[in-house]
Amino acid sequence: MAVKLEALLFDVDGTLADTERDGHRVAFNQAFTEAGLDWEWTVDLYEKLLAVTGGKERILHYLDNYNKEFKRPEQPEQLAAFIADLHKSKTKHYTDLLKTGAIPLRPGVLRLLNEAKQAGLRLAIATTTTPANVSGLLKNTLGEDGESWFEVIAAGDIVPAKKPAPDIYTYAMEQMNLAPEACIAFEDSENGILASQGAKLKTIITINGYTESHDFSGAVIVLDSFGEPDQPFKVINGSAFNKEYLDIEMVIQLHEQK
């Protein structure tokens, strides 16, 4: 007998909103300029950097692989502090950007969240982005009480190992006292689905421009968006049960399928 669906677990960047290219990337560049650095993360370079999850980890990866000539602090603790300061500045620029309304939710997200609430389903966030980024996005798209829509917001460094490790999903389910069989995850990237599947979660994928070539083997369905009644989704892989947009009925059907 199938376990009843109780909770929806959402990634944030690229899943709830298309935040990467015109959000986080822009904020990183603003932070670099503010710090007097001549670094610029172009659209193409940022696509490569997205292979690494976590902003501080991404800066270190950039220095190790794309900017080896930069004279970095020699002591590990000084390098860590330098990166942390840059990332703190980047977070401020990103949250300021969110306040302008420049980064809306992706099509179908608000409708699906409302449907889930009305159906009595529990909601949680499982992301590698910092809590301030999550808070800023939710407040500026769902309203001042946006964070309260989610029972658990698992974000940032709350677990030591970031995606593709499954830890953030495992943590969220532990906080909700739920087994993976009672949940379904929503992701947009290969690192994301590796994390959700590592936590034994069925996973719905919505791709974006940065992730359309990723490997989503094992996803219950791969879509270009959640879609709307007047803005149908495109099914890339899987069965949509003759639906044209993702609603809670379809989510439950995807959760129940073998």
Residue showing tokens 């379809």: 250
Q: Quote the CA–CA distance of 171 and 106 in Å, as a whole number.
A: 26
Q: How far are the Cα atoms of 147, 151, 244 from residue 121, in angstroms, in the given order? A: 16, 10, 22
Is there a catalytic annotation at residue 247?
A: no
Domains of the chain: 7-17+105-256 (3.40.50.1000), 20-99 (1.10.150.240)
pTM: 0.92
Q: Is 11 a catalytic residue?
A: yes
Say what the pLDDT of residue 96 is.
95
In the predicted model, what is the mean pLDDT of the chain? 96
Cα angle value 20/21/25 (rounded, 5°): 80
pLDDT computed for residue 216 by the predictor: 98
Of 11, 18, 188, 247, which residue is the catalytic one?
Answer: 11
Residue 226 neighbours by CB distance under 10 Å: 26
**Would you place residue 1 in the very low, low, confident or very high pLDDT band (cuts 50, 70, 90)?**
low
Q: Which among 23, 12, 87, 99 has a CA at the least distance from the CA of 55?
A: 87
Residue 25 is predicted with a pLDDT of 96
Q: Which of 13, 18, 188, 247 is catalytic?
A: 13
pLDDT tens-digit map of 81-102: 999 999 999 999 999 999 998 8
What's the average model confidence in pLDDT over 20-48?
96
State pLDDT tens for residues 197-253.
999 999 999 999 999 999 999 999 999 999 999 999 999 999 999 999 999 999 999
Residue 208, pLDDT score: 93
